[in-house]
Amino acid sequence: MTRIAIVEGDGIGHEVIPVARSALELLHPEYDLFTVDVGYGMWERTGCPCADKEIREMKDADAILFGAITTPPMKDYQSVVLRIRKALDLYANLRPVKDGGFDIMIVRENTEGLYSGIEESSPDRATTLRVVTRTGAERIVRMAIKLARQRRKLLTIGHKANVLKSDVLFRDICIAEAKASGVSYNDKFIDALSLDVLQHPASYDVVVTTNIFGDILSDVASYLVGGLGLVPSANIGERYALFEPVHGSAPDIAGKNLANPIAALRSAGMLLTHVGDAEGEDQIESAIRAVLAQGIKTRDLGGSAGTREFGEAVLRVLEQTARRA
């Protein structure tokens, strides 16, 4: 039996993930969906945002559907997201950004870089160690090359090697791997790349870059499709896989029925493809587009529908599709 861990997290995760969970339940009532509680809310209740028990529960799943986590600016608060990525070795963060005229896959190294977690702080100075290793660079670019071969066979390497020695290592390793694979490639400084992706999105296929650059670039690219509320992501390792919206916990709108559930629904779609049901992902995407075509939109897209209303509309379309099948 396929087992899916459902982690709502914090903030709007409690609103958008139930919509995505309902879609999974509708398409696959035979799946075993179980809840894992982590995040700032859990820390408030127990003093620990993510214990070993929750890590074990996530490891027991075939895939994880993850909401959003609030990380308060507290010196001793452990980042839940970083802990999960490291514990499950989710080294590849895949963020698709696509519409009718373009289809970009941003492949972000997910376990080191500026999010290494190696930090120190004093009243007068704070330091974060930016870590780029040969192992980390090789495996992320190999993942990107694998995806490029399945797509248009074009790889773009995003870096800042003109300033950062760590990016010289990353760039050189990526270029060597691309040459060895026979995949067409180019490389661009990340600032210029961020602008060019917005101006000429159809020119890009697979983009590989380091941790924080990938985080920023994918947020920038979300502008092309309507914002963060529409963009999903996958976190992939050798054994485990976690799927989550790109957006954060958005505490300012949490509990107000304002959040857009599309990114969560699309993340559930990516999860379905990962566990062997690519048709299920297509069904979710078709249902989203059908609802948007009806003029039902959340406020971030210029409409008036709430999270629940939009989700219910998508689920109605999915239910009709399931009946026809």
Annotated catalytic residue, options 31, 40, 91, 160: 160
Does residue 62 carry a catalytic annotation? no
**Which CATH class name applies to 94-230?**
alpha beta
Tell me if 1-90+237-325 shares its fold with 94-230: yes
Does residue 191 carry a catalytic annotation? yes
**1-90+237-325, superfamily in CATH?**
Isopropylmalate Dehydrogenase (3.40.718.10)
Annotated catalytic residue, options 31, 91, 115, 204: 115
Mean pLDDT of 107-112: 95
Does residue 115 carry a catalytic annotation? yes
135-178, pLDDT tens digit by residue? 999 999 999 999 999 999 999 999 999 999 999 999 999 999 99
Quick one: which of 43, 44, 192 has its CA closest to 54? 43
16-62, pLDDT tens digit by residue? 999 999 999 999 999 999 999 999 989 989 988 999 999 999 999 99
Annotated catalytic residue, options 219, 282, 297, 300: 219
> Can you tell me the distance from the alpha carbon of 119 to that of 26, in angstroms, rounded to the nearest whole number?
44
Annotated catalytic residue, options 59, 191, 223, 256: 191
> For residues 67 and 10, is the Cβ–Cβ distance under 8 A?
yes
Does residue 160 carry a catalytic annotation? yes
* Domain layout of the chain by residue ranges: 1-90+237-325, 94-230
Helices (H) and strands (E) in the chain, counts: 11, 12
Show Cβ contacts of residue 225 under 8 Å, excluding neighbours closer than 6 positions.
97, 98, 99, 231
Does 43 or 209 have the greater pLDDT score? 209
